[in-house]
Amino acid sequence: MAKYIFVTGGVVSSIGKGIVAASLGRLLKSRDYSIAILKLDPYINVDPGTMSPFQHGEVFVTEDGAETDLDLGHYERFTDTSMSKLSNVTTGAIYQGVINKERRGDYQGGTVQVIPHITNEIKERIHRVANNGNPDLVIVEIGGTVGDIESLPFIEAIRQFRKDVGRQNVVYMHVTLMPWIASAGEMKTKPTQHSVKELQSVGIQPDILVCRSDRPLPQNIKDKVSEFCNVLPECVMTGQDVKSIYEVPLAMEREGLAEQVLRLLGMQQRQPDLRSWQTLVERLYRSEHHVEVAIVGKYVRLTDAYLSVIEALKHGGIAVNSNVNLRWINSEDIEAYGADKFLKDVHAIVVPGGFGLRGVDGKVAAVQYARDRKIPFLGLCLGMQCAVIDWARNVEKLSDANSAEFDPESKNPVIHLLPEQQDVVNLGGTMRLGLYACRLVPNSLVHNLYNESVVYERHRHRYEFNNAYRSQFIAAGYLISGTSPDGRLVEAIELTNHPYFIATQFHPEFQSRPSSPHPLFQGLIKAALDLQQQRFANGAELESSAILEHLAEQKYDQQQEQHQEQQQEQQQEFASATSA
């Protein structure tokens, strides 16, 4: 029988519940426990697929085609475990399920209410995850902030859950804020106290507190929180800010998070094996090189819209011992001021996915700039479509070439709607979604990078390369290096007279892991590093202040020693301030 850890958050949104849940998953897996993770989201949308990236950030796509919350990307990257449609449930999906049951007559004429019908549906979704693969532990993150009206049914459901499955099978973990007030020179516990009080008011006593802060919690503060919040002192833990999210599992291990979870659940304590993760973090902090990568997008005001792309680029940097500095460029700015103003000194260009006409011409201009100046380029989904439009307009001289998505009347729709999408009316969950096979052309660059003949990648799109132009493009030197197994759909393109120019209809970023970087991103960063070193050798590029700063950083072990010294000094400072 599975055991359950419920993760809630208090005080403010974006407190880091997802990273804490993912880190706990990593720690438990390192102890050879099998896990599953579920995200419960309180918004009424059935899924985030139709939500604006500016409001919700990235839509993460699972192998089975679910459009889900971006936290599922963290779960996969931290635990090396693939999520599924079962792994993300919203209020909209819960109510939709209950209403469908009511319409079928499943409730036999009863009055349908929040309790028990909505809460029972929530609990049923949790049990589905536990029954799928029979994991040892199920981690359930409840979105939003304790006290929000939207999350009350979920809070009530997890309150009932402990009674249903037994107290010894459930742990409640609460992530909260412990701010340092500079003007007072004090760390304040009141936000945490009130957040726990709010949770207690709906019947839940947290077993573990993870207190987010910009500095370590001294023992006397932990003791105070323990006293006021009715939590054991060893279960009050520092969730201190770190340079990289990939350091969080190591920080939580030092705090004893997994050890306390297993103790509370009565499970066997096992020795963790975090050696590979420790090595990964050391490589991240000890990078010897530096490259500048431009991300040309239309949602750059909220970088979470490209979260998996960001992380995949970092993974590629880890693999080639290089720090990746991201330069965010709004594609509309390129339309207004030209590409050279923003791209002339970067070492690689990424054009990621998106929907709609706004900013597309700026993306096309960025593609042309990368193609003409031999700058390593990676196009993703819409990025590939922009690469196709660039080739059609600027090489094939089809000046009106466009995507049917942006110009339905175009005489040269080099990108057009999939035939199976012609009669689709609803937007939610109706695209080409999930994992599909891609057959690679032998000896192509993508084939050499993957070292596979057939690969499986995740998709999220409606429009495709128009095969009416395939022969014309190939005759002009275009290499279609990846297709669907039947050859009908174009999946990847590349240029043979370019050091690194690849664009894919699929989203490789969704399958990149810090422990196993995606080959297309690793290849991009390697090509960017080659360009950076070539420019420097030719005297065409001086080391920027960012490179100098990076090279001047002390080694990881020296940083760790300084960090420990600072912790000790701060703890002494807090202790003396509190006693005074």
Cα separation, 290 vs 287, whole angstroms: 8
Cα separation, 205 vs 187, whole angstroms: 23
Mean per-residue pLDDT pooled into runs of 10, the chain (580 residues):
96 93 98 97 91 87 95 96 96 96 94 96 97 96 94 97 96 97 92 96 97 95 96 96 96 98 97 96 92 95 94 96 95 96 96 92 97 97 97 95 93 86 62 94 97 96 94 94 95 96 98 96 96 83 46 46 53 48
Burial, 184: exposed, middle or buried (Cβ in 10 Å; 0-12, 13-18, 19+)? exposed
- In order, the DSSP letters of 236-285 are EEEEE--SSGGGHHHHHHHHTHHHHHHHHTTPPP-----HHHHHHHHHHH
Cα–Cα–Cα angle for 174, 176, 179, rounded to 5 degrees: 160
Cα separation, 367 vs 344, whole angstroms: 13
Cα separation, 390 vs 407, whole angstroms: 15
Looking at the DSSP bridge assignments, the partners of residue 208 are 173
- In order, the DSSP letters of 31-46 are TT--EEEEEEE-SSSS
The residue extents of the domains of the chain are 3-279, 287-537, 545-579
What does each C-alpha distance from 472 to 24, 345, 411, 414, 480 come to in angstroms? 53, 33, 16, 11, 12
pLDDT, position 555: 42
What CATH topology corresponds to 3-279?
A: Rossmann fold (3.40.50)
pLDDT, position 535: 87
Active-site option among 315, 347, 498, 507 = 507
Burial, 20: exposed, middle or buried (Cβ in 10 Å; 0-12, 13-18, 19+)? buried
H runs (alpha helix) in 132-232: 152-165, 190-201, 219-229
CATH of domain 287-537: 3.40.50.880
- In order, the DSSP letters of 428-478 are TT-SEEEEEEEEEPTTSHHHHHHT-SEEEEEEEESEEE-GGGHHHHHHTTE
Of 119, 110, 114, give the one whose Cα is nearest residue 89.
119
What does each C-alpha distance from 495 to 77, 370, 502 come to in angstroms? 31, 11, 7
pLDDT, position 250: 97
Question: Within 10 Å of residue 119's Cβ, how many Cβ atoms?
Answer: 22
- Asked if residue 465 lies in contact with residue 414, where contact means CB atoms within 8 angstroms, the answer is yes
Same fold, 3-279 and 287-537: yes
Q: Give me the sign of the Cα torsion angle 122, 123, 128, 134.
A: positive
Give catalytic status of residue 198 as yes or no.
no
Active-site option among 229, 235, 381, 386 = 381
Question: Within 10 Å of residue 564's Cβ, how many Cβ atoms?
Answer: 11
- In order, the DSSP letters of 373-404 are TT--EEEETHHHHHHHHHHHHHTS--TT-EET
Give catalytic status of residue 381 as yes or no.
yes
pLDDT, position 537: 82
The amino acid present at 362, given as its one-letter code, is G
Give catalytic status of residue 121 as yes or no.
no
pLDDT, position 563: 52
- In order, the DSSP letters of 516-558 are B--HHHHHHHHHHHHHHHHHHHTTS-PPPHHHHHHHHSPPHHH
The set of residues, in sequence order, having a beta carbon less than 8 Å from that of 198 and lying 6+ positions away, is 10, 146, 147
3-state DSSP assignment of residue 95: helix
The amino acid present at 148, given as its one-letter code, is D
H runs (alpha helix) in 6-90: 17-29, 53-56, 71-79
Q: Which pTM does this prediction carry?
A: 0.89
Burial, 158: exposed, middle or buried (Cβ in 10 Å; 0-12, 13-18, 19+)? buried
Active-site option among 386, 459, 509, 518 = 509
Question: Within 10 Å of residue 243's Cβ, how many Cβ atoms?
Answer: 11
Q: Encoding tokens for residue 553? A: 């950083």
**To which H or E segment does residue 493 belong?**
strand 490-495
